[in-house]
């Protein structure tokens, strides 16, 4: 090990814990963490997906949002699903998607969960402000998606970018 690096580590670990945390927070890249739900229609053999049309309304997206301070991702995903679509589920009803976390190039991390619900008995409720419309869409006939949604869905082999090269392609190997 480099002698300067060894001295730096020794000094660092002798600092009080609070000061060490403060230094790390200043030096480590910051990420925004969101929770996302892939909600499938269990009655269609999971061939339909719940999508939302939100402002500015130029494309459809998934139920998602930022985590609140110290909120567990699975709790945030269930909260966002209820707020944006009216679907109220317990956090433990959600399953981690594979991959569960998707790190985007610009300091954004999405923690993704999946759930299947029966569309015919699931009431969708939107507020008209944060979400204009919620609807079920066939996987083979998706509407125009937001760019971020299309890129995220590609990690799961869904949507218009699923067959194109990208960071998600490495997951198939």
Cis, peptide link before residue 56, omega less than 30° from 0: yes
> Beta strand 108-117 with 95-104: parallel, antiparallel or unpaired?
antiparallel
Of the two residues 107 and 171, the one the predictor is more confident about is 107
- Residue among 114, 84, 103, 119 nearest 151 (CA): 103
Q: Which residue has the tokens 């910051």?
A: 30
Residue 150 three-state SS: helix
Question: Above pLDDT 70, what percent of the chain?
Answer: 91
When the pLDDT of each residue in the chain is averaged and rounded to a whole number, the result is 88
pLDDT band, very low/low/confident/very high, at 44 (cuts 50, 70, 90):
very high
Give pLDDT tens digits for 9-28: 678 768 887 887 788 777 76
Give me the pLDDT at residue 127, please.
Answer: 85
**Residue/partner pairs of 163-171 with CB below 8 Å, 24 or more apart:** 171/99
Contact 85, 8 (CB under 8 A): no
- Residue 78: CB partners within 8 Å, gap ≥ 6? 89, 90, 91, 93, 94
Backbone angles phi, psi at 90, to 5 degrees: -75, 145
pTM for this structure?
Answer: 0.80
Q: Taking residues 68-75, what's their average pLDDT?
A: 93
Give me the pLDDT at residue 173, please.
Answer: 40
């Amino acid at each position: 090990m480099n002698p300067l690096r060894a001295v730096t580590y020794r000094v660092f670990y002798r600092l009080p814990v609070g000061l060490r945390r403060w230094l790390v927070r200043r030096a480590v890249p910051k990420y925004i963490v969101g929770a996302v739900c892939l909600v499938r229609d269990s009655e269609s053999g999971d061939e339909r997906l719940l999508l939302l049309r939100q402002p500015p309304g130029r494309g459809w997206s998934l139920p998602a949002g930022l985590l609140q301070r110290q909120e567990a991702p699975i709790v945030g995903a269930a909260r966002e699903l209820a707020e944006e679509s009216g679907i109220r589920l317990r956090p433990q009803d959600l399953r981690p998607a594979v991959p569960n976390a998707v790190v985007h190039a610009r300091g954004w991390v999405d923690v993704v969960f999946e759930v299947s619900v029966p569309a015919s008995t699931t009431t969708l409720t939107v507020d008209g402000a944060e979400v204009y419309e919620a609807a079920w869409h066939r996987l083979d006939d998706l509407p125009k998606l937001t760019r971020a949604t299309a890129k995220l869905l590609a990690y799961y082999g869904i949507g218009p970018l699923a067959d194109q090269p990208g960071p998600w392609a490495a997951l198939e190997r």
